[in-house]
Amino acid sequence: MYWYDSTYILVLIGALLSMWASSRVNSAFRKYSRVRSRNGITGAQAAERLLHAQGDL
């Protein structure tokens, strides 16, 4: 006979929370990946300009 183990419930809750968090992050990324800056440059280009302005590049 199989005895019920509460560890499975904790694993299931953890998996569901992980999927929910992943879904929220992906949703936010999709939403803000379409937002352009005022001058039309990417985040990588902005970072490169900042580093260049500081003499670090």
For residues 42 and 47, what is the distance between their CA atoms, to the nearest angstrom?
Answer: 9
Cβ-based burial of 40 (10 A; exposed 0-12, middle 13-18, buried ≥19): exposed
For residues 57 and 51, what is the distance between their CA atoms, to the nearest angstrom?
Answer: 6
Average pLDDT over residues 1-10: 79
Band of pLDDT at residue 36, cut at 50, 70 and 90? confident
**For the chain, what percent of residues have pLDDT higher than 90?**
44
Band of pLDDT at residue 28, cut at 50, 70 and 90? very high
